[in-house]
A and B are shown apart, each in its own frame.
Chain A
């Protein structure tokens, strides 16, 4: 009973905050609602008994990704009233795309066929919950069963990351940067010079 009540509270807040992400006037409020949505999703995972996924969701999305979102959104001075001006002009395009997507999803879900013996496949893939924690179960699937696919995904991400850095990095002239090696190597003679200046002559 308590589980059901908790589920409905979490789900209701999740859906509401999801809607508020889209409809908030202020982009910062949108991001904060997004964070609330992440939290409630993590709560739902805990209810399912998937505590590892819940914690990773909080660490990765709330702790890192959403901080970056907030960072960027707070820095940008977006005038949303201006952006919303043309909303009625393009409304029909948006509705059309939405409708096409909806049709596609109906076709896919409607034409979905379960393979025979799906029940045995599902039960065979999951180790008993009281013997293996779900951290270990996920680790086994990712790092033992599908290690090559996992490594491949890692490589693709690495390439994407290097590509992004190469594309956005630019060298600027005249930027002063601290070079600790230079600082440490600097000796008294490099910086200090005693000159005997005669009166009235200057240097």
Chain B
């Protein structure tokens, strides 16, 4: 906040009244984060397609621009010029609201994402709860789209999505509780700083008893963002793209933007909760010479690569298998881990605060 605020003070002097300055500063801050995120979404779609292509032993997008780098922009332009078709039986307002909601919930989470110490729009002291809340809201875009489309396939997709989100949120909640107990704070900056030199000079909770929680979080993140093997809401082969079936042009593009923004946010959450955020992987002085944001973006890119890799390597879960994994495997394991972690912290007197 402070840095950009000062820039604005420098530009306009103190002639503007403080509230106008604060508003301008906040808007500038938001743009500084949101524009790169949207650009990153465009590029990450390209990366996604290139990774899939590599796994398929094909070339992937390589025509538009050097190495096909501009493919996403070409697609965006094409989609922009198409007609938005609204089905006759659809609820018009909700039908158009749904993709917008999907994009909004994909973007608002970035408000608390720390890119470095102090490099954050809003340093909430309940930052992790905010992120949890926002990631659980992403389902509304899908449910509303499914219902407003007035189509059976879309509705089936929406129902699946609702059940899936509610199931996997529970285990994500317990994973977060484990991390929070070790840190003793709900602030994301504190969470990152607490991971300095966890064990043997390694930065990050993954290198400790919390490693199983990282695995559960990773799989639940796949489920929360509707990625394979949990892409039941849009399952092309069963319910022909599910909730997106009636959408065309920009409305559909907004769904994709929101989905990918949420995926990058989840990658960022994993980096911050378990891999020490902007800290280098090993607590060794020369590594701190590289700016923290590069470490953070590198970790996010790695997790995104894993997402793309998984998408091409595993088949889709069946609905009952999905429910079994969520309720009968992840929930008990994460619950037991909460008990174990708290027991360990209390017994060895390591409880923070």
**A residues adjacent to B (C-beta < 8 A):** 2, 28, 32, 35, 51-52, 55-56, 58-59, 62-64, 67-68, 70-71, 74-75, 133, 135-136, 177-178
* Stretch from B57-65, B126-134, B269-277, B285-293 that touches the partner: B126-134
On whether the beta carbons of B143 and A2 are closer than 8 Å, the reply is: no
Q: How many residues of B contact A (CB 8 A)?
A: 29
Chain B residues with CB under 8 A of A67: 139-140, 143, 162, 165-166
On whether the beta carbons of A70 and B143 are closer than 8 Å, the reply is: yes
B residues 143-197 near A (Cβ < 8 Å) are 143-144, 147, 155, 158-159, 162-163, 165-166, 169, 186
Give the complex CA separation of A2 and B186 in angstroms.
27
Chain A residues with CB under 8 A of B124: 51
**B2–chain A nearest beta-carbon distance, Å:** 19
Using known A-B contacts A51-B125, A70-B162, determine if residue A63 contacts B353 with beta carbons closer than 8 Å: no
Chain A residues with CB under 8 A of B353: 136
Chain B residues with CB under 8 A of A35: 140
On whether the beta carbons of A51 and B133 are closer than 8 Å, the reply is: no
Chain A residues with CB under 8 A of B136: 59, 62-64
Give the complex CA separation of A177 and B186 in angstroms.
41
Give the complex CA separation of A59 and B132 in angstroms.
7
**B128–chain A nearest beta-carbon distance, Å:** 9
On whether the beta carbons of B159 and A75 are closer than 8 Å, the reply is: yes
Pick from B19, B126, B166: contact of A64, CB under 8 Å? B166
The verdict on B320 contacting chain A, using a C-beta distance below 8 Å, is: yes
Chain B residues with CB under 8 A of A28: 147
How many residue pairs link A and B with beta carbons under 8 A? The number is: 62
The verdict on B210 contacting chain A, using a C-beta distance below 8 Å, is: no
Give the complex CA separation of A133 and B130 in angstroms.
16
Shortest 4 CB-CB distances between A and B: which pairs? A63-B136, A55-B129, A58-B133, A59-B133
Give the complex CA separation of A2 and B19 in angstroms.
9
On whether the beta carbons of B130 and A55 are closer than 8 Å, the reply is: yes
The digit string for B3-16, where 1 denotes a CB below 8 A from any CB of A, is 00000000000000
- 13 CB contacts below 8 A, A to B, read A28-B147, A32-B144, A51-B125, A55-B130, A58-B137, A59-B132, A63-B137, A67-B162, A70-B143, A71-B162, A74-B158, A74-B159, A135-B126
**B208–chain A nearest beta-carbon distance, Å:** 24
On whether the beta carbons of B133 and A68 are closer than 8 Å, the reply is: no
On whether the beta carbons of A178 and B159 are closer than 8 Å, the reply is: no
Give the complex CA separation of A63 and B143 in angstroms.
12
**B residues adjacent to A (C-beta < 8 A):** 19, 94, 124-126, 129-130, 132-133, 136-137, 139-140, 143-144, 147, 155, 158-159, 162-163, 165-166, 169, 186, 320-321, 324, 353
Chain A residues with CB under 8 A of B166: 64, 67-68
Q: 5 other contacts beyond A59-B133, A70-B162, A74-B147, with CB at 8 A cut-off?
A: A32-B94, A51-B126, A64-B169, A67-B165, A75-B159
Using known A-B contacts A67-B166, A71-B162, determine if residue A59 contacts B125 with beta carbons closer than 8 Å: no
Give the complex CA separation of A71 and B143 in angstroms.
8
Chain B residues with CB under 8 A of A135: 125-126, 186
Most B CB atoms within 10 A — which of A32, A63, A70? Answer: A63
Chain B residues with CB under 8 A of A178: 320-321, 324
**A91–chain B nearest beta-carbon distance, Å:** 30
Chain B residues with CB under 8 A of A56: 129
Pick from B19, B132, B133, B163: contact of A71, CB under 8 Å? B163
On whether the beta carbons of A71 and B126 are closer than 8 Å, the reply is: no
Give the complex CA separation of A75 and B156 in angstroms.
10
Chain A residues with CB under 8 A of B19: 2
Give the complex CA separation of A75 and B144 in angstroms.
13
Chain A residues with CB under 8 A of B165: 67
CB-nearest residue of chain A to B130: A55
On whether the beta carbons of B169 and A52 are closer than 8 Å, the reply is: no
Chain B residues with CB under 8 A of A74: 143, 147, 155, 158-159
